[in-house]
Structure 1
Amino acid sequence: MSLADFERNVNQPTHSTFHLERMRLLTKLLGNPQNSVPSVHIAGTKGKGSTCAMVSSALSKAGLKVGLTTSPHLHSVTERIRIGFEPISKDLFTNLVRYLWPFVRRVEVDGNYGAPTWFEFMIVAAFQHFQDEKADIQVVETGLGGRLDATNILSPIVTSITSISIDHATILGHNVRDIAKEKAGIIKETVPVIVAPQQRSSDAFNVISEVAQAHNAPLVDVSQSHPVEIVQAGLFGQSICVTGNLSTYKFDLPLLGKYQADNAATAIAVLESLVKEGYVINKGAIEEGLSCVEWPARLEIVNELDPFIVVDGAHNPYSARCLVDAIDLIKKSQIESQGEIILVFGALKNHDCTGMLREFLRLDPILIPVSSRHPKAASHIDIVNCADKIGILVDDGSRTGFENLAHAMEYALSRTRAKDMVLGTGSLSVAAEIIEWKRKIAPELYPGLSLDTVAGNDPKNR
């Protein structure tokens, strides 16, 4: 048996494909491990992974054993299940698969909902691992949406919704209001919900507020309750001051971009909510946790010298706009006589390639179109067509494409001059593959997704 993998499957599922019955059945068979560890549940379009990382970092500095589950992964599937920031070992993961597999089979054979999906399996594996490791608290990022997301079987002590914009429109809705309603599906009766700053003129906050009121859930509007000031910004971080409800926090955030400052304020609001629930998290732990947080492929500088190489997982127009704003600040404040921007860009087929490239017009880049290993990756021809349509200059030598991203990066370096910047973006898969190329990280390849062999159940023997 193989598990349906909607993250990597070229066939886009409809919203009716998603429900929670399989998750409820599978976790019930396991004794509901998700309920054995108190939960922080975080949804959103942009910033939910970064916010999860910030909350987890501060909780770890406060002396707590923290389970952290996020998606997608960059280099190895084990990144999705962590204690603190340490991924589960491959041996432990293999043993976990072997333990869980008979229960997965029971859901497939005895239930009425088909086999669990790959994402559902990984979320249950995370819950089971956090229970086995006796975690003090678990920080859980939604995968897609919120209302029908596999993680939404939790009974959290606090929820949070980060910035919302249009993404996965065919599944979640074609406007921010519909998407916000799906994200707000994680709000629980009387449970505090922390809402990150939203785009101006967006309907998102009003929708979330309506859902919170209907559930008697206390709502914290971070844009009003936790003002944030960027005291100083540089190439490798920014000095931040956040005025919270319990204290004023000053720290050097190693993540770049105004949106990361907003994520930090949101994380602080989440942590202060936990303090009110009785958790001992002092100001020092919060400041130290935020000062040392690591979250790769988010406006990450992977080469400091000529050429200057930056990667970012921006994969929708709003994320691209935020990235362009941040690159503009870097150019103005840190890099004298900035040269050309070489945009190494690859998107997934179900993402708004044209909308993203339109945002990059402000940088006046030279485009090198690429296609990552991801099965949903758009072809370089599709990207060239989008670029030609909106007037982005495509590098002549790259119009025929490259065998892989490593070759594309070598080509990009061959045509850079002093003070040029190489910006790799369009999807997390592009950012991850550039990091692998630069740091010589061996990729984890999945020619066909099946856990039978790992679980010791080779289908050839059945």
Structure 2
Amino acid sequence: MNFIDAVNKTFTLVDFERNQNFPMHSTFHLQRISEFLDQLSNPHLKIPAIHVAGTKGKGSVCSMISSVLSQSGYKVGLITSPHLHSVTERIRIGYSPIDQNDFIDLVNELWPKVENYNRTSCYGELTWFEFMIAASFYYFEKCDADFQVVETGLGGRLDATNVLLPKVSVITSISLDHTKILGETIEEIAFEKGGIIKSGIPVVLSPQTFYEATEVIKDIANKRNSKLVNVSDLFSVQNVCNFKEFQVFDVKTEHSNFQLELGLLGHHQIENSLTALGAINVLKKSGVEIPQNAIDQGFKNVRWSGRLEYLSTGQSGFELLVDGAHNVYSMECLVREIKNLKYKNLILIFGGFNSHDLEGMLKVLLELDPILIGVNSRHPKSVQASVIDSISENIKFRKRFFYDSVEEGFDYASNISVEGDLILATGSLSVVAEVIESQKEMLPELYQKF
């Protein structure tokens, strides 16, 4: 069995991430993943964990924490989703994705257990996401990882990762997203995210735009006797200096001041870095040795592809920027950052999913007066370019073009761009991934449809 065969075998399981038909959230539960992990001798409980939920910034915060722990000399398992180019990105040691041969071995070893469980389960068959989470925990134990940093997939309370008993829980910025599944108000969504808070285990809360989110998390933490570490009360930032590939700023606490160099761009990443710092402080107070130079190097070396990332365009003269913003709040943050840049014309490559507020995002992007190029990515949930055409018809973009693939849209954007122009690709991580693949001439990882 080769790598693609192994991947396609896993995709014979139900994959709600790529399936157009998503179940009602009320049907979610943790019994199935718990039972399967029990048959694997509960690997998830054998490695100290940091568990991260939220609407925005989860992956970035996970990457920062993992980077700092790795710089401290620890072997760190890292679980994030979705992936950009390969399913191996979801299971990492440090920043290194699981080797393809190791993934094949993992599938070969676990698949008989999957089939046996599915034959006897009282709760139905494992889903693809549940298998990937269980396989990650199992792999980390085999690798003798010292820590595991785990990002939730969707929500938190009923997410398959919520079988952990972490050393610290982390909740990043909360806003409206996946409203058909998690709820249509900030309070409902915050309740789902706050579901990862465990009795007696500290929870770090990032700066919140919505007061209601903070109040819901405070209430859950209080009821579960969980110490709430509110990042807004711990840190303040001064003297921000922005460069093309990094930013430098001063962090002020009650007892000290220090400077951080951060290898990610955008004000929201500064907030994410403070959230990661809050989690690191909790770990240090629990006895984990994390020297200051590891913190400095961890934030300096952090990378998280597809998030406000410049891509090399050689001698073309135009700039290329990609960002995976896919809801209105994230798009507002992105637009604020773009307004600080200098360029002649903005060429916008945009695509999204049926579940996204496409009209809301496009109205926010209109503030940049871009030339719109609507595209359809390969992702099964991606909307057709004709849908973007229909939605954007009454939004007064100065020019609109539409292509049935990201590659075609990117080629056209490159052809019409001149020196000083900025191409921005956004709307979904799948659009971002395909632009990166086109620019870097990467072969895409294509999956069989079941």
Q: Which TM-score tier does this pair reach, normalised by the shorter chain?
A: over 0.9
Aligned position for 1:393: 398
Partner of 1:138, secondary structure, is strand
- Give the aligned length: 438
Instruction: Measure the CA separation in 2 of the matches of 1:209 and 1:378.
Output: 38
Contact 1:176 1:202 (8 Å CA) reproduced:
no
Equivalent in the alignment of 2:95: 85
* Alpha-carbon distance in structure 2 between the residues aligned to 1:315 and 1:394: 22
Q: 1:136 aligns with which of 131, 146, 160?
A: 146
Query: How much does 1:139 deviate?
Result: 0.2
CA contact (8 A) 1:228 1:265 kept: no
RMSD: 1.3
| Residues 152, 186 of structure 1: 8 Å contact kept | yes
Deviation at 1:417, TM superposition (A): 2.1
Structure 2 unmatched ranges of 5 or more: 1-8
Deviation larger for 212-221 or 440-449: 440-449
Cα distance in 2, alignment partners of residues 52 and 176 from structure 1: 23
Q: What is the CA deviation profile of residues 232-263 of structure 1, one whole-angstrom value per residue up to 9, with x for unaligned ones? A: 01222110222346754412212111000000
Q: Is the CA contact (8 Å cut-off) linking 1:341 and 1:363 kept in structure 2?
A: yes
- Residue 406 of structure 1: aligned partner: 407
Equivalent residue for 1:361?
366
1:16 maps onto 2:26 in alignment: yes
CA deviation after TM superposition for structure 1 residue 11, in Å: 1.1
Task: Report the alpha carbon displacement of residue 226 of structure 1 after superposing the two structures with TM.
Answer: 1.5
State yes or no: 1:118 paired with 2:123. no
Q: CA deviation at 1:440?
A: 1.1
Letter in 1 for 2:352: A
Residue type of the alignment partner of 1:413: S
Map of 2:77 onto structure 1? 67
> What is the CA-CA distance between 1:230 and the residue it aligns to?
4.8
1:320 aligned partner:
331
Matched, 1:145 2:155: yes
- 1:300-322 Cα deviation digits (max 9, x unpaired): 00136621110000000001011
Aligned AA (2:335): V
Q: CA deviation at 1:14?
A: 1.2
CA contact (8 A) 1:160 1:194 kept: yes
- Contact 1:246 1:272 survives alignment (8 Å): no
Number of the residue aligned with 2:438: 437
The one-character-per-residue Cα deviations of 1:11-65 (angstroms, maximum 9, x if unpaired) are 1221023210110110000000000100000000000000000000000000111
Q: TM-score, normalised by structure 2?
A: 0.95
Mapping of residues 238-387 of structure 1, within 5 Å:
238-244=247-253, 247-303=256-312, 306-329=317-340, 331=341, 335=342, 338-387=343-392
Q: Aligned letter for 1:276?
A: K
Matched AA of 1:261: I
CA distance in 1, matches of 2:246, 2:254: 25
TM-score if structure 1 supplies the norm length?
0.93
CA–CA distance in 2 between the matches of 1:364 and 1:194?
38
Residue by residue over 1:100-123, the C-alpha shift from the partner in whole angstroms, topping out at 9 and shown as x without a partner, is 112211221111111111111100
> Counterpart amino acid of 1:222?
V
Name the aligned partner's letter for residue 449 of structure 2. Answer: G
Displacement, 1:408? 1.1
- 1:351 & 1:187 partners in 2: Cα distance? 27
Cα distance change, pair 62–343 in 1 and its aligned pair in 2 (3 A): same
Q: 1:27 aligns with which of 18, 34, 37?
A: 37
